Amino acid sequence: MKSYNSFDVTQQQVREAARLLNLDEATIELLVWPQKEFKFTIPVRMDDGSVKIFHAWRIQHNYARGPAKGGIRFHPDETVDTIRALAGWMTWKTAVVDLPLGGGKGGVKCDPKKMSERELEQLARGYVRAVAEHIGIDRDVPAPDVYTNPQTMAWMMDEYETISHHHQPGVLTDKPLQIGGTEGRRDATARGGVTTVREACNILGVDPTKNFAIQGFGNAGQRAALLHEEILGGGKLVAVSDSRGAIFNADGFNPKELVTYKLTTGSVVGFPGSRAISHEEVLEANVEILYPAALENSIDEKNAPRIKAKIVCELSNGPTTPEADLILYKKNIHVIPDILASAGGVTVSYFEMVQDSYSYFWEESVVHHRLDQKLTKAYHRVQEAIREKKVHPRLAAMVVGVARVAEACKLRGWV
């Protein structure tokens, strides 16, 4: 399989969109590079008494439209280029759904599965001590990402408030409800994605109550399984995979029972009534709708010709390679790109920032309604760009996002 540098891919996407928008070279150069990058080390005293040094980053890709926004991931394979790419995708994601935010991302190179809770807390607090002067409600607002969670954010917020001597819950989002989190955040990414699928089905005449498949059964995949029926009025989940294996049942799985089984056993493998299949068979299943919610570059030039779904809703970051994008477009398979499909999470994180700023919190139904409005409007704006520019959906979404960020940069007089 061809190897991809995610940051190179994002830069290529920006340049393609910029050409369609006739942007000048200075503006393009500004948009393809992060505005600020911070590299630092975090010493942590481990449970055995030794001190381990962890390498970490925080990258602010662009803040022309507002404070940088993006998660912090703890992962053993973290690199500066993966974080640069993810920070850039956050810039375009917030712009596509028209939020007054920029894009950022952070990461620590570590293996959280081999660390105790105490060690993880010390790492989280050390991260905040390193970046405290560079983050804030009006600068850069982090959130959880891979192997971080609301508890991580609670530790980080507490450390930030200890340093600043002020109560500032809005400095981080996706916190526990008891300390400034918002209703509706847990399922926001999947809810936003399924909402865009609803709009796509209406436009394309696809029946959402037929078969669908989910590649990756983490939080987003599980929530998509549960929300598919609620938002789309039905549907039969016939193929599912996670990191340990993949399963199939032509009669469909009960989403609630499957999620419970996954949470209990740690995998979908062995679910009663299922038969084992390959990961590739999940992607290539004969379904109406496919949700890639796992790894980057899962759909490539080799398997793209065998994709049968009519709609591909990208709940993970970068699941489709550039070559595969073109193949799917030529096959008339409608891809809802990640910067649109998975934007529900950052949208509700923005809602959390708003609520924290004036200490008044909305009912869950209000959060759901406003999320629906945002994602529906964004989906149709991307559809307009597809028709206007006659390009595939990912490039159309990039055109929408890049145009909005470029305009903000020009209005500020940066270029």
Residue 64 to residue 411: CA distance in whole angstroms:
9
Output the CA torsion 42→47→48→50 (10° steps). 10
Q: How is residue 197 written in tokens?
A: 């699928």
Residue 260, φ and ψ in degrees, nearest 5? -60, -45
Q: Report the alpha-carbon distance of residue 319 to residue 299 in Å, rounded.
A: 6
What's the one-letter identity of residue 179? Answer: I
Q: Give the integer Cα–Cα distance in Å for 207 and 176.
A: 37
The verdict on whether 69 is a catalytic residue reads no
Rounded to whole angstroms, how far apart are CA atoms 277 and 372? 35
User: Is residue 31 within 8 Å of 379, Cβ to Cβ?
Assistant: no
Q: Work out the number of other CB atoms within 10 angstroms of the CB of residue 295.
A: 14
Considering 105, 236, 262, 374, which one is annotated as catalytic? 105
d(CA 18, CA 402): 7
Tokens matching residue 59: 């990258």
Distance, CA of 288 to CA of 17 (rounded, Å): 29
Buried b (16+ CB within 10 A) or exposed e, 66-86: bbbbbbbbbbeebbbebbbbb
Positions annotated as catalytic residues are 105
